[in-house]
């Protein structure tokens, strides 16, 4: 009974049961703000000129409901959202669409059948926006539980972390026809289950299944294997698992995590690399030719033998298509005209390295020599994950997408920033973020910057400015 009362007191201190409604309320309020920002920007501002692919909406009725739904939600389907609209309706019909993973558009396409009273395109848009916003709230709720149940961080710091996540600079992508919300939800769910499940085998297998769905949502989900590897390594270093079991579970995890992607890769190769009549048309968006299935001459990634050749990690076609259509590659993005994109992403990338320094220093100060490198309940795996993504943004992939990738891939930024606020000022702010108005510390300035991009980035994205 004494232990039960002690645990109950501990749970009350950390607000585990009492703060969920508050966190959900913060998350929903932020989506309402995003909704009105995108609505006003599309109604009041002209669309910027762009040569990007634009989906040809087919609104085959003149009903007030259809037109109203389209004009109210159209700001949620810019840039990559146009590709997801097309894939959700038509599937993977030409080569460049293969850059986008299948889970999100597949779910949207299936659920849109339920909205039978709207034209198909409007139904897809409506379902996609609803799905993204629901997944965002669920991801934020999981962040609440990760902070409370796994790291036992106090309720005030947790509230700050939820606010940082809710009003992050890439918020428009978490509400739009993008994969960020679904990916965050699946990744956060996998992380939570990995730590909360006490039976190791169930923890590894269950998490691997969840992460396999995240990998079908975004290709950077392949890095989530690192969280499972980190837990196993921590247990192995503390002699809680044998070397044989450590290796066996890690291999099993990798197989489970990548198997659905291999099935998808096989289906793509079977569809695109079989001999079919050529059907190439000119894109109305001016991006050159669409390369269709069966055009083996222009599908350089198709195996010469004609037989399925599985890749070890990501599909064979992925890097080829990223390089071909988005110029992704080592130093490919180092161009003078891209400097503004580096400037916009710079504060978030710099913050990752700044916060990682504190995490690493704290880890090295742990006295227990068995876990000095890999303490189980630590921000270290999140820090390493984020640092790797930040480094590859600088040198390899398009840096302008780094902010949304970093905020959606793990909870490191909101958790570490909230902890740094608490550590730096040794006080509990009751009116965060309004207490920061006259504060000029570097981390406060970074928070200001995030709020600035939350508003300006949303408006720019919705009118086709290159905030992608």
Model confidence at 3, in pLDDT bands (50, 70, 90)?
very low
In a domain, 280, yes or no: no
Q: Residue 64 pLDDT more than 80?
A: yes
pLDDT for res 425: 59
Separation between Cα atoms, residue 348 and residue 228, nearest integer Å: 26
Q: What is the mean pLDDT of residues 359-364?
A: 80
CB 149 within 8 A of CB 11: no
In a domain, 123, yes or no: yes
- Please give the share of the chain, as a percent, with pLDDT higher than 90: 60
Separation between Cα atoms, residue 436 and residue 453, nearest integer Å: 17
Q: What is the pLDDT of residues 123-150, one digit of tens each?
A: 999 999 999 999 999 999 999 999 998 9
3-state secondary structure 412-451: HHHHHHHHHHHHHHCCCCCCCCHHHCCCCCHHHHHHHHHH
Nearest Cα to 356, choosing from 399, 307, 389?
Answer: 389
Nearest Cα to 31, choosing from 141, 153, 208, 166?
Answer: 166
In a domain, 294, yes or no: no
Q: What is the pLDDT of residues 245-295, one digit of tens each?
A: 999 999 999 999 999 999 999 999 988 988 665 444 444 443 446 888 888
CB 194 within 8 A of CB 235: no
CA distances from residue 140 to 174, 426, 442, 454 in whole angstroms, order as listed: 11, 25, 25, 17
For residue 282, with 0-12 CB atoms within 10 Å meaning exposed, 13-18 middle and 19 or more buried, which class applies? exposed
Q: Residue 68 pLDDT more than 80?
A: yes
CA distances from residue 352 to 347, 349, 388 in whole angstroms, order as listed: 9, 5, 10
**Which one has a higher pLDDT value, 294 or 87?**
87
Q: What is the mean pLDDT of residues 23-50?
A: 95
In a domain, 2, yes or no: no
pLDDT for res 126: 97
For residue 134, with 0-12 CB atoms within 10 Å meaning exposed, 13-18 middle and 19 or more buried, which class applies? middle
CB 170 within 8 A of CB 404: yes
CA distances from residue 336 to 288, 339, 465, 468 in whole angstroms, order as listed: 25, 6, 19, 18
Q: Residue 2 pLDDT more than 60?
A: no
Q: Residue 398 pLDDT more than 80?
A: yes
Q: How many helices (H) and strands (E) does the chain have?
A: 18, 0
Q: What is the mean pLDDT of residues 339-347?
A: 92
Q: What is the mean pLDDT of residues 207-232?
A: 97
pLDDT for res 12: 44
In a domain, 11, yes or no: no
Q: Residue 18 pLDDT more than 90?
A: no
Model confidence at 6, in pLDDT bands (50, 70, 90)?
very low
Question: How many residues appear in the chain?
Answer: 468
Range with the poorest average pLDDT among 73-87, 298-312, 343-357: 298-312
Q: What is the pLDDT of residues 175-212, one digit of tens each?
A: 999 999 999 999 999 999 999 999 999 999 999 999 99
In a domain, 316, yes or no: no
pLDDT for res 421: 80
**Which one has a higher pLDDT value, 19 or 431?**
19
Q: Residue 227 pLDDT more than 50?
A: yes
Query: What is the model's pTM?
Result: 0.91
In a domain, 309, yes or no: no
CB 214 within 8 A of CB 190: yes
Q: If you ran DSSP here, which 8-state letter would residue 148 be given?
A: I
Model confidence at 8, in pLDDT bands (50, 70, 90)?
very low
In a domain, 402, yes or no: yes
Q: What is the pLDDT of residues 402-451, one digit of tens each?
A: 999 999 999 999 999 998 887 765 555 555 555 555 566 777 888 889 99
Q: What is the pLDDT of residues 283-325, one digit of tens each?
A: 444 344 688 888 888 888 888 766 777 788 888 899 999 998 8
State how many domains the chain has.
1
Q: What is the mean pLDDT of residues 224-240?
A: 92
For the CA atoms of 209, 210, 216, 218, what is the dihedral angle to 10 degrees?
-140
pLDDT for res 440: 60
Helix axes 442-462, 412-425, angle to 10 degrees: 150
Model confidence at 376, in pLDDT bands (50, 70, 90)?
low
Separation between Cα atoms, residue 373 and residue 384, nearest integer Å: 12
Q: What is the pLDDT of residues 96-125, one digit of tens each?
A: 999 999 999 999 999 999 998 899 999 999
Q: Residue 371 pLDDT more than 60?
A: no
Q: Residue 39 pLDDT more than 60?
A: yes
* Structural domain span for residue 104: 17-269+329-462
Q: If you ran DSSP here, which 8-state letter would residue 46 be given?
A: P
Q: Residue 399 pLDDT more than 50?
A: yes
Specify whether the backbone of 328 is left (phi greater than 0), alpha (psi in -120 to 50) or beta.
beta
**Six-digit token string for 47:** 């669309």
**3-state secondary structure at position 289:** strand
């Amino acid at each position: 009974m004494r232990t039960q009362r002690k645990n109950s007191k501990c749970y009350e201190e950390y607000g585990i049961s009492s703060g969920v409604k508050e966190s959900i309320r913060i998350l929903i309020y932020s989506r309402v703000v995003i909704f009105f920002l995108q609505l006003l920007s599309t109604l009041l501002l002209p669309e910027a000129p762009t040569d990007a692919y634009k989906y040809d909406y087919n609104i085959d009725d003149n009903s007030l409901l259809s037109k109203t739904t389209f004009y109210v939600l159209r700001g949620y389907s810019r840039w990559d959202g146009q590709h997801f609209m097309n894939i959700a309706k038509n599937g993977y019909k030409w080569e460049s669409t293969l850059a986008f993973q299948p889970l999100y558009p597949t779910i949207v396409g299936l659920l849109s059948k339920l909205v039978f009273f709207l034209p198909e395109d409007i139904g897809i848009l409506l379902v996609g926006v609803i799905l993204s916003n629901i997944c965002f709230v669920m991801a934020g709720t999981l962040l609440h539980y990760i902070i409370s149940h796994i790291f036992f961080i106090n309720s005030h710091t947790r509230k700050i972390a939820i606010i940082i996540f809710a009003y992050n600079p890439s918020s428009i992508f978490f509400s739009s026809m993008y994969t960020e919300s679904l990916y965050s939800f699946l990744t956060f769910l996998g992380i939570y289950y990995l730590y909360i499940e006490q039976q190791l085998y169930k923890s590894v297998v269950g998490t691997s299944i969840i992460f396999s769905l995240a990998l079908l949502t975004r290709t950077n989900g392949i890095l989530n294997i690192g969280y499972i590897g980190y837990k196993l390594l921590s247990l192995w270093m503390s002699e809680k698992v044998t070397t044989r079991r450590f290796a066996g579970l890690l291999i099993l995890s990798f197989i489970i995590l990548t198997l659905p992607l291999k099935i998808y890769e096989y289906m793509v190769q079977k569809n695109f690399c079989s001999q079919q009549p050529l059907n190439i048309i000119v894109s109305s968006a001016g991006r050159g030719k669409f390369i269709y299935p069966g055009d083996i001459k222009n599908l350089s990634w198709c195996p010469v033998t004609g037989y399925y050749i599985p890749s070890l990690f990501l599909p064979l076609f992925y890097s080829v298509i990223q390089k071909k259509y988005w110029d992704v590659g080592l130093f490919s993005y180092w161009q003078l005209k891209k400097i503004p994109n580096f400037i916009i992403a710079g504060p978030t990338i710099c913050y990752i390295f700044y916060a990682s320094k504190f995490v690493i220093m704290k880890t090295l100060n742990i006295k227990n020599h068995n876990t000095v490198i890999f303490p189980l309940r630590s921000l270290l795996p999140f820090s390493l994950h984020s640092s790797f993504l930040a480094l590859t943004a600088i040198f390899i992939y398009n840096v302008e997408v780094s902010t949304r990738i970093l905020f959606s891939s793990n909870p490191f930024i909101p958790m570490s920033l909230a902890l740094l606020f608490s550590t730096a000022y040794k006080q509990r702010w009751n009116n965060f973020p309004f207490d920061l108005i006259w504060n000029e510390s570097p981390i406060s300035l970074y928070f200001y910057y995030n709020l600035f991009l939350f508003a300006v980035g949303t408006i720019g994205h919705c009118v086709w400015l290159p905030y992608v």
